[in-house]
């Protein structure tokens, strides 16, 4: 069994309880990690608390240098890390390389953004006074990450926390903890002070112990809306800062004047990337009447061309889903949609954890597959009466992470960007889109507390202090 990393040392967990890490590809056990308990969490939080002042007092340039050391580890071990991601998560190897390279590039961004975390000089209403603001860390940060991007998602929050001066206790998803050991090794070999980064593996109870710890002042969570809401309630009781990135039911609107081929390519790519297991993946397609039939035909043809298979085969487009539980939810939603009148045009068969990408037409916008997260390579197509109806359907959701619209009409493009209730709206691009310097996060039940990415991430992980200097008479 592997060990935990606390206060600069690899240590045994409090108990001998372990979690087998099972590959979704073939069901093989890859390794066993500790099922950390409240005692382990308390040790890690104490170590982080004790390191807080030293990390805070380091200059931004010193913290940036640490992130550069971390980047060097990822660059030197890129092949091993990418293979680890594919084995424990199931995504195709080329997607795992994309994830690794994204993290390498973004670690440099966070290093630079930490140096540029400026305050403001504020004009005073009084003479002989000089006023300004600074940004300061909150303190111990809990980073709780999902299984679908085991390197990229925690990497961003950990980098932002460290760059801003917050020591970290990292609890990865129990399905994909092995990638977390690469993150840990990267910080362990750096010049980061002991205790400023800690790893505690475990299940939901481990994360709950971390969230409930009174010394945790900042919580960065990515995962389901249901869990995120519970975390928010616990944090609110002691006024801890929360950065929550949660679920989505992201739509692509395709209008009559759209480039059908481009829209179909974006839709299929957005719904099948990482087997559809992406919070900003394409979960709804909403079409206006003039483009509906041509678009459905194009989406079906592209979906038929998708290759389902071993993530380590070069020709594979889509690998297995992460678990039977996630797959069963998709199967149930598709079955219910068909019972409610939807037409399954292609896909929907299962083989182990492999799920054949599916397309459904004539989907009722009030059914579960149109309203709740599916998290699978499933494309439900909803017919709107016109443009205004398409926007209405898009907004008729408790989620608001990202959205896209395909149109050649500049007025519709700007109008949709203004009216669609989402944290990101993209024109003639997939909704399953992000890049390093854009903020990432959602409205409504998709997020709270700030944005991920670049300078917005650091701002969410720091608090503002006002300073006034009276250099005249009192």
User: pLDDT tens, 422-431?
Assistant: 999 999 999 9
88-114 pLDDT tens trace = 999 999 999 999 999 999 998 999 999
DSSP 339-351: HTT-EEEE---EE
Question: Radius of gyration of the chain from Cα atoms?
Answer: 23
Tell me which residue has tokens 């006002």.
466
pLDDT of 343 strictly over 90: yes
Closest CA to 278 of 83, 443, 95: 95
Q: Do 50 and 158 lie in a common domain?
A: yes
Q: Do 19 and 155 lie in a common domain?
A: yes
288-297 pLDDT tens trace = 999 999 999 9
CA 79 – CA 349 distance, rounded (Å) = 32
Q: Do 189 and 157 lie in a common domain?
A: yes
Domain count, the chain: 2
Please report which confidence band the pLDDT of residue 330 belongs to, taking 50, 70 and 90 as the band edges: very high
Q: Do 156 and 22 lie in a common domain?
A: yes
The residues assigned a catalytic role are 245
Q: Do 209 and 153 lie in a common domain?
A: yes
Mean pLDDT computed over 453-457: 94
Residue span of the structural domain in which 109 resides: 4-246+446-468
Q: Do 197 and 273 lie in a common domain?
A: no
Asked if the structure places residue 11 within a domain, the reply is yes
Asked if the structure places residue 301 within a domain, the reply is yes
Mean pLDDT computed over 299-304: 99
Tell me which residue has tokens 């691009």.
429
Q: Do 81 and 27 lie in a common domain?
A: yes
Q: Do 216 and 284 lie in a common domain?
A: no
Looking at every residue in the chain, the average pLDDT score rounds to: 98
CB-CB contact of 202 with 34 (8 Å): yes
Q: Do 234 and 273 lie in a common domain?
A: no
CB-CB contact of 220 with 143 (8 Å): yes
Q: Is the dihedral of CA 286, 291, 292, 297 positive or negative?
A: negative
Asked if the structure places residue 441 within a domain, the reply is no
CATH number of the domain that 143 lies in? 3.40.605.10
169-181 pLDDT tens trace = 999 999 999 999 9
DSSP 278-308: -TTS--EEEE-GGGHHHHHHHHHHHHHTPPB
Asked if the structure places residue 292 within a domain, the reply is yes
**For residue 94, what is the enclosing H or E element?**
helix 93-115
Q: Do 200 and 262 lie in a common domain?
A: no
DSSP 412-426: HHHHHHHHS-SSEEE
Asked if the structure places residue 390 within a domain, the reply is yes
41-57 pLDDT tens trace = 999 999 999 999 999 99
Asked if the structure places residue 234 within a domain, the reply is yes
206-227 pLDDT tens trace = 999 999 999 999 999 999 999 9
Q: Do 77 and 125 lie in a common domain?
A: yes
Asked if the structure places residue 439 within a domain, the reply is no
CA 203 – CA 221 distance, rounded (Å) = 14
Please report which confidence band the pLDDT of residue 357 belongs to, taking 50, 70 and 90 as the band edges: very high
DSSP state of 192: P
Please report which confidence band the pLDDT of residue 150 belongs to, taking 50, 70 and 90 as the band edges: very high
CA 160 – CA 51 distance, rounded (Å) = 17
- pLDDT at position 34, please? 99
- pLDDT at position 474, please? 86
Q: What angle do CA 378, 172, 279 make, to 5 degrees?
A: 25
Closest CA to 287 of 404, 377, 410: 404
**What's the whole-model pTM score?**
0.97
Strand pairing category for 9-11 and 4-6: antiparallel
CA 345 – CA 357 distance, rounded (Å) = 11
Tell me which residue has tokens 């913290």.
63
CATH number of the domain that 375 lies in? 3.40.309.10
Q: Do 371 and 461 lie in a common domain?
A: no
Asked if the structure places residue 271 within a domain, the reply is yes
Total residues found in the chain within this entry = 474
- pLDDT at position 327, please? 98
Residue 258 phi/psi, 5-degree rounding, is -70, 155
């Amino acid at each position: 069994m592997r060990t935990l990393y606390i206060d600069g040392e690899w240590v045994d967990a409090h108990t001998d309880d372990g979690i087998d890490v099972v590959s979704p590809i073939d069901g093989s056990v890859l390794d066993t990690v500790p099922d950390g308990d409240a005692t382990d969490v308390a040790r890690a939080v104490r170590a982080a608390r004790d390191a807080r002042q030293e990390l805070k007092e380091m200059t931004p340039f010193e913290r940036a240098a640490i992130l550069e050391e971390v980047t060097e580890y990822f660059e030197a071990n890129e092949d091993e890390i990418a293979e680890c991601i594919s084995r424990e998560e199931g995504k195709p190897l080329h997607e795992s390389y994309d994830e690794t390279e994204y993290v390498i590039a973004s670690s440099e961004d966070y290093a630079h953004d930490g140096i540029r975390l400026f305050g403001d000089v504020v004009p005073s209403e009084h003479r002989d006074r000089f006023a300004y603001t600074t940004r300061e860390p909150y303190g111990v940060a809990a980073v709780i990450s999902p299984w679908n991007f085991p390197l990229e998602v925690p990497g961003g929050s950990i980098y932002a926390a460290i760059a801003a001066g917050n020591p970290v206790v990292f609890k990865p998803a129990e399905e994909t903890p092995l990638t977390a050991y690469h993150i840990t090794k990267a910080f362990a070999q750096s010049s980061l002070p002991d205790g400023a980064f800690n790893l505690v593996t475990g299940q939901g109870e481990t994360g709950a112990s971390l969230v409930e710890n009174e010394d945790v002042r900042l919580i960065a969570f990515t995962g389901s809306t249901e869990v995120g809401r519970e975390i928010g309630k616990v944090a609110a009781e002691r006024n801890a800062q929360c950065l929550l990135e949660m679920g989505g039911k992201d739509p692509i609107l395709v209008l009559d004047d759209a480039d059908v081929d481009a829209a179909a390519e974006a839709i299929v790519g957005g719904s099948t990337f990482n087997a559809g297991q992406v919070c900003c993946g394409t979960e709804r397609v909403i079409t206006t009447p003039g483009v509906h039939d041509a678009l459905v035909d194009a989406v079906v043809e592209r979906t038929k061309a998708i290759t389902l298979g071993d993530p380590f085969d070069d020709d594979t487009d889509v690998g297995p889903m992460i678990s039977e539980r996630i797959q069963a939810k998709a199967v149930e939603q598709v079955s219910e949609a068909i019972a409610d009148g939807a037409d399954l045009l292609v896909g929907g068969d299962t083989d182990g954890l492999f799920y054949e990408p599916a397309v459904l037409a004539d989907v009722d916008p009030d059914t579960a597959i149109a309203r709740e997260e599916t998290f699978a390579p499933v494309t439900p197509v909803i017919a709107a009466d016109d443009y205004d109806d398409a926007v209405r359907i898009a907004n008729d959701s408790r989620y608001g992470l990202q959205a896209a619209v395909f149109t050649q009409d500049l007025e519709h493009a700007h109008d949709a960007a203004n009216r669609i209730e989402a944290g990101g709206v993209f024109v003639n691009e997939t909704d399953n889109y992000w890049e390093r310097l854009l903020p990432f996060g959602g409205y409504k039940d998709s997020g709270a507390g700030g944005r991920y990415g670049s300078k917005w991430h650091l701002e969410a992980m720091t608090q503002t202090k006002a300073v006034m200097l009276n250099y005249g008479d009192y």
